[in-house]
Amino acid sequence: MSYMLTLCEEDIAKEWEKYKGFTVRPLPSTTSYYREIIQHKGRHNKFLLFGGTPEIRNIMQQCGFELVIIDRSPQVVRAMGRLTQSGMPVSENETLVEIDWLDLNLFDNRFDVLIGDDAINMVKWDHFDLFLENAARALNPGGIFLCHLLVKPDDLLINMTFSELMQDYQCGRIKSHYDLASRINFICYDKASYGMGWQDTITSIGKDTLEHIPGEFDFYQTFAVCNSRFYCPPQFEFESLVKKYFTIEEIFYPHEHEYCLYEPLYLLKKK
């Protein structure tokens, strides 16, 4: 499955720029946390990034640290590179390796720091264990994994109707269109697979309905080309898997929006 419904790097970059503030990109508080950890680790460590997250690549460029990026879609990584400080598809400090994240065991390198911003959500729940096992195997002794993910929202939010949701928005109980976008996705959450995604939501609710949300926010226009699908398990189930391979050193929560309650960033240390 492609992350985007276009392969044009310039178009992908334009679309990705629209997603600032939404769940597919790290918020400023999350980015600050990444920066703190990365700078503390220093240039003598080996860093690996799952995917092309521009905010993380900016930190590495500003610090002058070498970075290996792995992804099955070089077009998306190169497109996101256009949104970094360097403006280059692949910067001088970056090495891009085209490989599926679930095949990390085939990449015979070891690292001190792994970083995945919503990366694990892109694999099916049945593959979370393999993802985490391979991540631990790719780390040197004492290595860390900065794992940011979406977890299952409260059932109260999943079980709402679209009409009830819009009432909450119009009454001001939903404070921003960033939270509104997440809440719309939440009501399309599939409890069986733990999955949700922009195209699933558009199909379920309908383009016409989403284009006529009161106010200036156009859900359809914003996410029409985004094909990312997220698998978001209950937090306790995720942590049960994590503890097979890592110790949980810290859990950071961004704080800009209400949806951040379901966006923990784990600092994991290899066992």
pLDDT in tens, 118-165: 999 999 999 999 999 999 999 999 999 999 999 999 999 999 999 999
* 217 and 237 share one domain: no
Q: Tell whether 54 is covered by a domain.
A: yes
Decide if 78 contacts 88 (C-beta within 8 A). Answer: no
* 103 and 142 share one domain: yes
CA distances for 5 relative to 11, 223, 262, angstroms: 10, 10, 26
* CATH at residue 45: 3.40.50.150
* 110 and 168 share one domain: no
Q: What is the pLDDT of residue 3?
A: 85
* 135 and 191 share one domain: no
Q: What is the pTM of this model?
A: 0.95
* 105 and 209 share one domain: no
pLDDT > 80? residue 1:
no
Confidence label for 7 from pLDDT (cuts 50, 70 and 90): confident
Q: Tell whether 1 is covered by a domain.
A: no
Q: Tell whether 4 is covered by a domain.
A: no
* 85 and 208 share one domain: no
Q: Which of 91, 40, 39 is nearest to 68 (CA)?
A: 91
What is the SS3 assignment for 210? helix
pLDDT in tens, 17-34: 999 999 999 999 999 999
Question: Which domain covers residue 171, as residue numbers?
Answer: 155-231
Decide if 201 contacts 94 (C-beta within 8 A). Answer: no
Q: Tell whether 37 is covered by a domain.
A: yes
Phi, psi of 43 (to 5 degrees): -70, -15
* 137 and 217 share one domain: no
pLDDT in tens, 63-121: 999 999 999 999 999 999 999 999 999 999 999 999 999 999 999 899 999 999 999 99
Q: Tell whether 2 is covered by a domain.
A: no
pLDDT in tens, 30-72: 999 999 999 999 889 999 999 999 999 999 999 999 999 999 9
Contacts 24+ apart (CB under 8 A), 181-186: 181/22, 181/23, 181/217, 181/219, 181/222, 181/223, 182/22, 182/23, 182/257, 182/259, 182/262, 183/157, 183/259, 184/210, 184/219, 185/23, 186/153, 186/157, 186/158, 186/160
Q: Which of 132, 182, 133 is nearest to 157 (CA)?
A: 182
* 112 and 35 share one domain: yes
* 101 and 203 share one domain: no
Q: Tell whether 21 is covered by a domain.
A: yes
Q: Tell whether 182 is covered by a domain.
A: yes
* 106 and 58 share one domain: yes
* 40 and 20 share one domain: yes
Q: What is the mean pLDDT of residues 195-223?
A: 92
* 144 and 196 share one domain: no
Number of domains in the chain: 2
Radius of gyration of the chain (CA): 18
Q: Tell whether 124 is covered by a domain.
A: yes
Decide if 150 contacts 230 (C-beta within 8 A). Answer: yes
